[in-house]
Amino acid sequence: MGKPTGFLEYSRQGNPGQPPLERIRHWDEFHAVLPEEERRRQASRCMECGVPFCQSGVELGGMVIGCPLHNLAPEWNDLIYTGNLDQALARLTKTNSFPEFTGRVCPALCEAACTCGLSGDPVTVKENELAIIEAGFASGAIRPRPPKVRTGKRVAVVGSGPAGLAAAQQLNRRGHAVTIFEREDRAGGLLMYGIPNMKLEKRIVQRRVELMAAEGVEFRTGCDVGRDLPAQALLEEYDAVVLCCGAKKPRPLPPAEGIPGAYFAVDYLTAAAKALLDGAPPIDAAGKDVVIVGGGDTGNDCVGAAIRQGCRSVIQLEMMPRLPAARAKDNPWPQWPRVCKTDYGQEEAAALFGADPRRYQTTVRECRTDEAGALSAVVTVRLEPKEEDGRRFMAQVPGSEAELPCRLLLIAAGFLGPEDYAADAFGLSRDGRSNVSTAPDSHATGVPKVFAAGDMRRGQSLVVWAVAEGRAAAREADEYLMGYSNLN
């Protein structure tokens, strides 16, 4: 522990962000980095507690607390404080394949379980992590390191999101010949086309893809396994297959089906990314009244994107009641705090339009069109919690209907699991939530030499969970191929 009194002497200081009305003028990341001296002070706040819940990744009270990657946060916080960044980088990358991604987009499960947060502000673990990896890239410490020995085994990884990239990285480092198949024109999955540029600039994703290619991973983009390429071809050509196809089947909004001007959020964000990268025509919010159905991270990303495109107004509908401002008694530390948080897009909407865009316990009941058949308005309805036969649900309140002008409706209501065709092509069974079934506490499917990881196996989740899943699946595939594994 570098400074035993650090958490007493210094207050939490996060990376400063541009004011909302400035950052909405561009699509770039908008947080500056702290000076080195201040970053060391922030790292010194780590208490090196007897039980570091930040790195635990264990289940408590029905939810996982701490980092599922078991990042060694107390160790590399101490190394930042003492100025040993090369050692900090070695400890960080021992457990985390892509700190440059998690350090930008992870909600910081580690910080929610930080002991400093029990009675004050947690350590800036996420930003410390990002500082380490970016210093490594800047200094040249991160460079291609292809394996010195190849095993002669070939592995196909289907999907290049965070789970697929993590699995491929680990298997390649073990010495297997790895090919990633990606149906889009660029590698990265949701990192490239599902997370907007102001949260994760695409040059950061491309930097990692190029590094992995230099280490020997082959990327085949524009190849849709199960459609362009039969599953049987992979099973015949490769010694193992790891499926990381995501959970991209969007939850529908029945009143919006077939309505021009209504889009799924994932399609909207993908089009926005391609517009920035290639100049392709976006699904444009410019000058339009925008309504977003869904109060989660994806809905918030849609708010930020619509504002940058120049929308006339934006409203975000959330089915559930507003969460409390502070932890409830049944939600104690170190559980994830179920409290109301205002994210960057909501901050920007409040600054631009003068009010929080969120409307709670509300959904769309009807879509209305103009004489040309285009979307012109939505009719919303209030919801209230009810319980029948022990089942809680949100019920519509009769007489609570209201009309909102709407020329662009974005549906960010979550996902229903993986798209059917990839799993069906391999003959995989599903669980009750339509996710790919695997053996208990395993990533092995019921089909020999086929493994599944990420959202495809566990359902819609976080980038950090996808990385953890990819690494775990890689270890199992390696054991299958070699009889043992030295991957962690």
For residue 180, give both structure tokens: 């990633």
CA distances from 446 to 227, 380, 423, 442 (A): 21, 44, 12, 11
- Band (pLDDT 50/70/90 cuts) for residue 1 is low
Percent of residues in the chain assigned helix, strand, coil, to nearest 5: 35, 20, 45
- Give the model's pLDDT for residue 131: 98
For residue 364, give both structure tokens: 């769309």
Q: Which residues contact 227 (CB under 8 A, 6 or more apart)?
A: 183, 421
Report all structural domains of the chain as residue ranges with CATH numbers, in order of start.
6-139 (1.10.1060.10), 154-248+416-482 (3.50.50.60), 254-411 (3.50.50.60)
pLDDT tens digit sequence for 372-402: 999 999 999 999 999 998 899 999 999 999 9
Cα–Cα distance for residue pair 177/155, rounded to 1 Å: 6
- Band (pLDDT 50/70/90 cuts) for residue 2 is low
For residue 258, give both structure tokens: 């077939």
- Give the model's pLDDT for residue 61: 81
Q: Which of these, 409, 457, 403, 465, lies nearest to 434 by C-alpha position?
A: 457
**Model confidence at 263: pLDDT above 80:** yes
For residue 183, give both structure tokens: 């149906």
**Model confidence at 443: pLDDT above 80:** yes
Quote the Cα angle for 155-416-430, to 5°: 55
Secondary structure of residue 281 in the 3-state scheme:
coil
- Give the model's pLDDT for residue 127: 98
Provide φ and ψ at 422, rounded to 5°: -65, -45
DSSP letter assigned to residue 444: B
- Give the model's pLDDT for residue 356: 97
pLDDT tens digit sequence for 276-331: 999 999 999 999 999 999 999 999 999 999 999 999 999 999 999 999 999 999 99
For residues 157-172, give the mean pLDDT. Answer: 98
Write the single-letter amino acid at 233. A
Q: Which residues contact 119 (CB under 8 A, 6 or more apart)?
A: none
Cα–Cα distance for residue pair 367/378, rounded to 1 Å: 4
Percent of the chain whose predicted confidence (pLDDT) is above 70:
100
Percent of the chain whose predicted confidence (pLDDT) is above 90:
94
Q: Which residues contact 217 (CB under 8 A, 6 or more apart)?
A: 168, 169, 172, 178, 179, 180
pLDDT tens digit sequence for 405-414: 999 999 999 9
